[in-house]
Structure 1
């Protein structure tokens, strides 16, 4: 946060007081489809995934959230709807939980902090746009190579079947990419 906005020690303490530290075990669910979503999660350690399972029981991963990343069902959070995605732990995870009402309170009281949240939202939008364009324009091999180039830690942190689900390929196809 302090990379984007200047905070006094008192402001930092005030903001941090609104975050709740939580620990989750591998495979534990933070959000399930149908839940009321009131929080977003900042990852201190571990890895989360945001995903859906379609009618054919095929998993589609929308996002991995590693250390310093945020995760939630933002459609549900911002539109006061029920969750349309699941968020779970790929590994044991330590997170900071921020309630939507607390984020709004902080932004109302400390207007310059809104800049950080706007910057973060814009960054998420840019990443989502890049991912969609990659899915539309790049072959699976290229998507895999780009993912491993951008996030090499994923290879050892995330099970291969989840990387395959993120790329939209089978585990067997992913194995062929790894041999190339």
Structure 2
């Protein structure tokens, strides 16, 4: 399936767009290809785009003052990613968004997203649904980090995203779960 059809199917999971509406929406996306370890966004950048992942695996992270990386999100095929605080507040990026695998994305500027949501009701509904789902996912992630032990966090991720566990290097997975690399090894061995 080509990338245009992938995007059409992605929209159809939530809303119906006419062929004319989809063709119009399609003209607002820009195809971008990135290599493993290449940055989409670096801390301090101006952020203009929402990125939809067509192929590959991308992460967003924050590096604290001691140099420790904290992973906020992974995005694989059919997922969206950006530094939303920077994008919506027109502030410098506080996150780094980079590729774990060679990746292909479609970039949509926030300006074009706003324009399309004003012009096409179904497109507006699509982004509302995606935002709502994102807020729910973020809330669940925060609650897991606050109130669940590493074993429960790992099992929840295993239940919700088994494909992700197979693709993410263990050192990055440990950061995402908020555990050390050694603790993650013990989780894999059933010791924790």
CA deviation profile, 1:26-78 (whole Å, cap 9, x unmatched):
11010011100000100011111010111121110000011100000001111
Measured in 2, the distance between the counterparts of 1:143 and 1:39 equals 30
Alignment of 1:26-45 (within 5 A): 26-45=36-55
Alpha-carbon separation, structure 1, partners of 2:165 and 2:148: 20
With normalisation by structure 1, the TM-score equals 0.97
SS at match of 2:145: helix
Q: What is the TM-score when the length of structure 2 is the normalising length?
A: 0.91
2:85 to 51, 75, 85: 75
1:168 equivalent to 2:178? Answer yes
* Shift of residue 111, structure 1, vs aligned partner: 2.5
- Within a 5 Å distance, the mapping from 1:40-119 to structure 2 comes to 40-119=50-129
List structure 1 segments (4+ residues) > 3 angstroms apart after TM superposition: none
| Residue matched to 2:163 | 153
Report the Cα offset of residue 153 of structure 1: 1.1
Structure 1: any 5+ residue segments left out of the alignment? Answer: none
Q: 1:178, 1:11 → 2: CA distance?
A: 47
Deviates most, 66-75 or 2-11: 2-11
CA distance in 1, matches of 2:16, 2:166: 35
In the aligned structure 2, how far is the partner of 1:25 from the partner of 1:52? 20
> 1:9-29, CA deviations, whole angstroms, 9 ceiling, x for partnerless residues?
111011011111111111101
From 115, 120, 128, the counterpart of 2:130? 120
3-state SS of 1:153 partner: helix
1:158 to partner: Cα distance: 0.9
Q: CA deviation at 1:154?
A: 1.7
Cα separation, 2, equivalents of 1:148 and 1:58: 24
Q: 1:6 aligns with which of 12, 16, 20?
A: 16
Where 1:91 maps in the other structure, the secondary structure is coil
- Equivalent position to 2:153, from 134, 143, 146: 143
Partner of 2:7: none
Corresponding pairs, count: 180
Over the aligned positions, Cα root-mean-square deviation in angstroms equals 0.9
Post-superposition offset of 1:112: 2.8
